[in-house]
Amino acid sequence: MFITVLLDCIRKINSERSISSIYHLLTGKRSAQTLQDAHLYQLENYFGIYKTITRDELASVIKQLERQKCIESNQNAETAQISVVGKGLLDDASIFLELTGFNGMKYENISSHLEQRLLLLIQTITNIEARNNRFVAIVEDVGTQQFVKEIYNTMKNRRREWLRGLFKEIHSFLRTIPQNQASIFVDRLTGYDQFGLSKEQLAQKYQVSKHDIAVTLQLIIHKLLTFLLNETKNSLYLSTLIKDYVEQTFITNSAAETLNLFQRGYNLEQIMSIRKLKESTIHDHLVEIAYADADFNIEPFVTKDSFVEIARVIDELDSRKLKVIKQHLNENYSYFQIRLVMAAMQSHHKRGSELS
């Protein structure tokens, strides 16, 4: 699973970004560059799906892929491109189809909360129903403990109803995912007199790498979130765990401040002065916003005719290399304008795919 994710990232980036950019993507670095890369190379689904991987661990897997002739790295090993062997692995439709279940850009901020809340709620309700009030919480996070405590206080007189409801809804969800994923999910749960397996134990039991387990668990949670958001009426108990989830435009806090000023009517120069930031930084913010919001108006910076011309060259070249695009446009447009058009094209394409 993890190898497939990594190969897909390398294939889409195609040596135009470093291996470090993939590390930042997988660990969910909230920087303008990482967010723009995620949109630009259509890697939004993988954003933040493996927050705990280290640089050394990623480097080790990259070396493994090199030895297996799946990728080819440059001399400094800063960039890589997929080989014929690697493409062959991605051609396995059944494996590649699984990757569509990830939705990192949308769920990155809530997935870990849902997982921790669910694990702790099941542990709590099963132990108390068995009259065991002295158990060590498997989740140490104080915020999660408080959230589950509040839920429990509202349903403590209806514990059996909740147990039946949770069981029914979880069972319904598990029927929508592959058997091996359902088994991993169940093995992770802790109940009365039963302890869930650690990631290391899961890796040993299913004879896969710890990286595979890490991203598979994240994939299951993403699928569960999609299930809950689509089946809210049929998931009354599980949906309680995401009752405070609010979907929002995914941009950095700094870009959000720039957007706020822009929406209030301030022009580029005024925003630079108010925020005491360089023009290039404000440009980065505007490009980031354009990627995230298909309704963002870029006409103050790119006219409709210019948009058509730039978009035509981008489509013809089928390249994301700004220098090449700029040269084919006879240097008539700035890098900022080209980046804005690329962002607008990507966000409009994404919206079209969601509506179709």
**pLDDT per residue as tens digits for the range 3-31:** 999 999 999 988 888 899 999 999 998 88
CATH number, position 327: 1.10.10
Q: At 178, list the tokens.
A: 């592959």
Give residue-wise pLDDT tens across range 168-189. Answer: 999 999 999 999 999 999 999 9
Q: At 67, list the tokens.
A: 């030895």
pLDDT for the residue numbered 105 = 83
pLDDT for the residue numbered 318 = 76
User: Do 97 and 169 fall into the same domain?
Assistant: no
Distance in angstroms (rounded) separating the CA atoms of residues 250 and 132? 42
Indicate the pLDDT class of residue 121, thresholds 50, 70 and 90: very high
Residue 215 covered by a domain: yes
User: Do 84 and 39 fall into the same domain?
Assistant: yes
What is the domain range of residue 98?
2-103
Give residue-wise pLDDT tens across range 242-287. Answer: 887 755 556 777 888 898 898 888 889 999 999 999 999 999 899 8
Distance in angstroms (rounded) separating the CA atoms of residues 55 and 76? 16
pLDDT for the residue numbered 110 = 86
pTM: predicted TM-score of the whole model, two decimal places = 0.77
Residue 135 covered by a domain: yes
Indicate the pLDDT class of residue 356, thresholds 50, 70 and 90: very low
User: Do 162 and 188 fall into the same domain?
Assistant: yes
Q: At 334, list the tokens.
A: 């700035």
pLDDT for the residue numbered 77 = 64
- Closest Cα to residue 99, out of 194, 215, 198, 18? 215
Indicate the pLDDT class of residue 108, thresholds 50, 70 and 90: confident
User: Do 171 and 271 fall into the same domain?
Assistant: no
User: Do 224 and 324 fall into the same domain?
Assistant: no
> CB of 60 within 8 A of CB of 116?
no
User: Do 143 and 262 fall into the same domain?
Assistant: no
Q: Which of 242, 261, 284 is the last residue of a domain?
A: 242
Residue 259 covered by a domain: yes
Distance in angstroms (rounded) separating the CA atoms of residues 179 and 105? 26
User: Do 30 and 136 fall into the same domain?
Assistant: no
- Closest Cα to residue 86, out of 67, 58, 60, 59? 67
Q: At 305, list the tokens.
A: 């005719």
Q: Which of 189, 222, 242 is the last residue of a domain?
A: 242
Residue 321 covered by a domain: yes
Q: What amino acid is encoded at 193 in this protein?
A: D
Distance in angstroms (rounded) separating the CA atoms of residues 304 and 288? 20
What is the average per-residue pLDDT within 221-229?
Answer: 91
Distance in angstroms (rounded) separating the CA atoms of residues 340 and 344? 6
> CB of 83 within 8 A of CB of 14?
no
330 three-state secondary structure = coil
DSSP 73: E
Distance in angstroms (rounded) separating the CA atoms of residues 226 and 220? 10
Share of the chain above pLDDT 70, in %: 94
Residue 247 covered by a domain: no
Residue 248 covered by a domain: no
187 three-state secondary structure = helix
User: Do 148 and 225 fall into the same domain?
Assistant: yes
User: Do 262 and 348 fall into the same domain?
Assistant: yes
Q: At 230, list the tokens.
A: 């689509």
User: Do 46 and 122 fall into the same domain?
Assistant: no
What is the average per-residue pLDDT within 82-107?
Answer: 81
pLDDT for the residue numbered 329 = 92
Q: Which of 55, 76, 103 is the last residue of a domain?
A: 103
What angle do helix axes 19-26 and 32-40 make, rounded to 10 degrees?
Answer: 100
Q: What does residue 286 show for φ and ψ, rounded to 5 degrees?
A: -65, -40
> CB of 291 within 8 A of CB of 343?
yes
Max Cα distance, the chain (Å)? 76
User: Do 228 and 257 fall into the same domain?
Assistant: no
Instruction: Say how many domains are in the chain.
Output: 3
Residue 274 covered by a domain: yes
User: Do 98 and 176 fall into the same domain?
Assistant: no
Q: At 296, list the tokens.
A: 């963002």
Distance in angstroms (rounded) separating the CA atoms of residues 35 and 47? 8
